[in-house]
Structure 1
Amino acid sequence: MKIIQLEYFCAVSRYHSITQAAQKLYVTQPAISSAIRELEKEFSISLFTRSKNHMTLTKEGEIFYQKANELLNTIKQTSSEFYDLGRKVTPIRIGIPPLLSTIFFPEMLIAFQKEYPDIPVELIEYASIRAANLVQEDILDLALVNMNFYEIDKLNSCQILSDQIVFCVSPEHPLAKEDAVTIEMLKDEPLIMYNTDSVQNATLDSLFESIKVKPHVLMRASQLYTIQNFVKNNLGGAFLYSSLLKNMTGLIGIPIVPTINQEIGLVWKKGKYINSSVEKYISFTGKYAETIVRN
């Protein structure tokens, strides 16, 4: 039994597919199939029930998965502890959604590196839900997320700020002079929405569903620059955090009634060993959040 075989097996268990597991791990499908066959042969066990494009764990496979997952977590935790013992500083892996990072993350990172210049940070762009899932899977150490999703209680968290979503349009838009808008008023408006795995999108989809309306989505985008250009050219309206508008010209932010409040914060996995670098970043985030509130 090899560690890599357990990693491949656990990936297939999570995604129920050799194809998806191979894509996530950036390896070939035959490599994963071979690893699973070797495990089944070594332990004289059938791990999966195979059907078209779907892999389901057998009863024995479920027990094997629990034990394998525990073993891999122990190995990762022990590796982190060894790094600490050897004083080797590994980069802190942080997931950052494109829109949220625009609000304040550059300033936050600069402040952290000024206080801890010897701790490297690796930033990776993911929307909030995906970033939170990667924290659960130990692929990321931390993630900056919109905290308004139902699985937030599965993670440790530190709130940084609270913001509101506003409806943004160009000055030429028919709604530009409105003091406020409701979701009902936007049912026929062309919309530029954020990408599909964002918490913001899930919140808005729920609001449209509550009035039994399917929104007119012109485009879904992940880059603020693209969203801004579409709105500035009066191709449609977009839902953005109000904090973004201070650095954006040519857009008008209209309050939404009732108000859509969103909490932004940092999350990390529960029950996981936290190395000294990550612990310092979490502590720093708490202090940084206090300065935002005071200002």
Structure 2
Amino acid sequence: MNIKDLEYFKMVFIEKSFSQAALQMHVSQPTITQAIKRLEEEFESELFIRNHSHQELQPTRAGRQLLVHVEQVLLELKLARKELKQLEFGKVRVGLPPIIGNYYLPQIFPALFRSELINKFETTEAGSADLRKQLIHGDLDIALLGSLSPISDQGLKVDLFAQSRFKIVVSEKSPLAQKDTVKFADLQNENFIVLDKGFVHQKALKQISQQVHMRPKIIYSTSDMHILKALVAEGLGIGFLTESAIAATDRIHSLSLEDEEQPIFYMSTAYRQSKLLSADEQSILELLQKEL
């Protein structure tokens, strides 16, 4: 068995055609046919049957089961290539959600300078959902992730380091600035300015909205937390942010939610279970876990 046979099998599964798979893989149809034959002999199972009425191949139950394992094998090989190439790169790629990064980077950077690891430290900023995908696919070595529940993923080694509640933020000139708490349902007539779908915040907003049977009026979404705060400060709408994202110097007022059930923002360090950490990666991970 060779890796190309597995790649050809996956393409046949997708295209449901030997000829179309051959076109996609830039090989001859007999090459594809022979690859499937070798796999069927190897596993002693028929992997495809021809559907004459639709002129296409249909995977058998054995074929569907094999695909699950093939996808995992191909993913692991892709990760192996990336990780071996990364050994030559010499940098430690760390994913930072803007919310967590803005709050914790001032604590992390002095320690990085003192340990002389700053030149090894390369950051990528994105929402936690995007960073988690990059981590799983081998495009990051370590990530700080935000989530609405403690992360449980067999492919990741995860350590929770903090949690915080979500708050409503308003302009200091808003009538709501006279309050310290508010019920979420009382905000149904307010205009919301929110972080976009790459952030955990949008899921948290949906969660609490469903709990109180309310649809918030979202007038603008952004991937930039500073823009969100600036628009809120100007009184153009209200925001929904985790308390760790709110600084004393921001020109906004925050209100705690009175609702008994409300989402919690969990913050964790994570890396792939299959990854053997280099000395620099281990040092940076330990530094993060110590300083956070």
* Residue of structure 2 equivalent to 1:97: 97
Q: 1:273 to 1:61 in 2, by over 3 A?
A: farther
**AA partner of residue 282 (structure 1):** L
How do 1:192-203 residues align onto structure 2 when only pairs under 5 Å count? 192-203=193-204
Structure 1 residue 116: deviation in Å?
3.7
Name the larger-Rg structure. 2
* Residue of structure 2 equivalent to 1:63: 66
Equivalent of residue 270 in structure 2, options 267, 274, 282: 267
* Residue of structure 1 equivalent to 2:169: 168
- Secondary structure at the aligned position of 2:177 is classed as coil
Distance in 1, Cα, partners of 2:150 & 2:219: 27
Structure 1 residue 234: deviation in Å?
0.5
Aligned 8 A contact 2:145 2:267 in 1:
yes
- Secondary structure at the aligned position of 1:203 is classed as helix
* Residue of structure 2 equivalent to 1:53: none
Q: 1:150 to 1:118 in 2, by over 3 A?
A: closer
Distance in 2, Cα, partners of 1:12 & 1:151: 35
Aligned 8 A contact 2:94 2:141 in 1:
yes
Q: 1:227 to 1:43 in 2, by over 3 A?
A: same
**AA partner of residue 161 (structure 1):** A
* Residue of structure 2 equivalent to 1:22: none
* Residue of structure 2 equivalent to 1:25: none
* Residue of structure 2 equivalent to 1:33: 24
Q: 1:215 to 1:31 in 2, by over 3 A?
A: farther
How do 1:1-295 residues align onto structure 2 when only pairs under 5 Å count? 33-34=24-25, 40-41=32-33, 43-44=35-36, 59-60=62-63, 63-64=66-67, 66-67=69-70, 69-70=72-73, 73-74=76-77, 76-77=79-80, 80=83, 88=88, 90-117=90-117, 120-149=120-149, 151-154=151-154, 155-258=156-259, 260-289=263-292
Distance in 2, Cα, partners of 1:238 & 1:5: 52
Aligned 8 A contact 2:93 2:140 in 1:
yes
Q: Deviation per CA, 1:30-68: give whole Å up to 9, x if none.
A: 999236978735613689x9xxxxxx9775365256246
Q: 1:241 to 1:62 in 2, by over 3 A?
A: same
Q: 1:238 to 1:82 in 2, by over 3 A?
A: closer
Structure 1 residue 274: deviation in Å?
2.7
- Secondary structure at the aligned position of 1:132 is classed as helix
Name the % identity. Answer: 18
Q: 1:211 to 1:9 in 2, by over 3 A?
A: farther
**AA partner of residue 272 (structure 1):** K
- Secondary structure at the aligned position of 1:172 is classed as coil
Structure 1 residue 82: deviation in Å?
8.7
**Which stretches in structure 2 are left out of the alignment for 5+ residues?**
16-20, 38-46, 51-57
Aligned 8 A contact 1:8 1:36 in 2:
no
Q: Deviation per CA, 1:131-162: give whole Å up to 9, x if none.
A: 11222222222221113247534432222322
Task: Give the aligned CA root-mean-square deviation in angstroms.
Answer: 3.9
Structure 1 residue 124: deviation in Å?
1.6
Aligned 8 A contact 2:107 2:291 in 1:
no
Q: 1:256 to 1:275 in 2, by over 3 A?
A: same
* Residue of structure 2 equivalent to 1:292: none
Distance in 1, Cα, partners of 2:101 & 2:270: 15
Q: 1:219 to 1:282 in 2, by over 3 A?
A: same
**AA partner of residue 132 (structure 2):** A
Aligned 8 A contact 1:98 1:126 in 2:
yes
- Secondary structure at the aligned position of 2:205 is classed as helix
TM-score between the two structures when normalised by the length of structure 2? 0.74
Q: 1:10 to 1:164 in 2, by over 3 A?
A: farther
Q: 1:36 to 1:2 in 2, by over 3 A?
A: farther
Q: 1:134 to 1:230 in 2, by over 3 A?
A: same
Structure 1 residue 205: deviation in Å?
0.6
Aligned 8 A contact 2:8 2:25 in 1:
no
Aligned 8 A contact 1:182 1:256 in 2:
yes
Distance in 1, Cα, partners of 2:12 & 2:224: 31
Distance in 2, Cα, partners of 1:5 & 1:285: 43
Distance in 2, Cα, partners of 1:183 & 1:36: 59
- Secondary structure at the aligned position of 1:152 is classed as coil
Aligned 8 A contact 1:179 1:254 in 2:
yes
